[in-house]
Amino acid sequence: MNVDPVGSGGEESTVVRIRNAAIARFGRDGFAVGLRTIAADAGVTAGLVVQRFGSKDGLRRACDEYALQVLREEKTKAVLDRSPSTMWMQMAQIDEYAPIARYLLRCLQEGGATATALINDVIADAEQYLAAGEAAGVVRPSRDPAARARLLAYQSMGSLLLWFSLHGSAADDEQFRTLFRRYAEQFSAPAIELLAQGLLVNRSMLDEFLLYVPDPPGGRGAIDTS
φ/ψ (deg, to 5) at 185: -65, -35
H helices present in the chain, as ranges: 11-29, 35-42, 46-53, 56-80, 84-92, 98-110, 112-135, 145-167, 173-197, 204-210
pLDDT bin (cut points 50, 70, 90) of residue 7 is: very low
Percent of the chain with pLDDT over 70: 86
Chain segment 194-209, per-residue pLDDT in tens: 988 999 999 999 889 8
Closest-CA residue to 124 (of 102, 155, 152, 82): 152
- The answer to whether residue 109 scores a pLDDT higher than 50 is yes
pLDDT of residue 8: 37
Mean pLDDT of 24-32: 95
Integer CA distances (angstroms), 9 to 14, 35, 214, in order: 7, 22, 58
Chain segment 48-92, per-residue pLDDT in tens: 999 999 999 999 999 999 999 999 998 888 888 766 666 667 777
Integer CA distances (angstroms), 43 to 19, 47, 79, 103, 118, in order: 12, 12, 38, 20, 29
- The answer to whether residue 10 scores a pLDDT higher than 60 is no
In total, the chain counts a number of residues equal to: 226
Chain segment 136-175, per-residue pLDDT in tens: 999 999 989 999 999 999 999 999 999 999 998 777 888 9
Report how far residue 168's alpha carbon sits from residue 87's, in angstroms, rounded to the nearest whole number: 27
pLDDT of residue 219: 47
pLDDT of residue 221: 46
pLDDT bin (cut points 50, 70, 90) of residue 43 is: very high
pLDDT bin (cut points 50, 70, 90) of residue 11 is: low
Q: What is the CATH number of domain 64-210?
A: 1.10.357.10
pLDDT of residue 171: 72
Report how far residue 226's alpha carbon sits from residue 25's, in angstroms, rounded to the nearest whole number: 33
SS (H, E, C) 182-213: HHHHHHHHHHHHHHHHCCCCCCHHHHHHHCCC
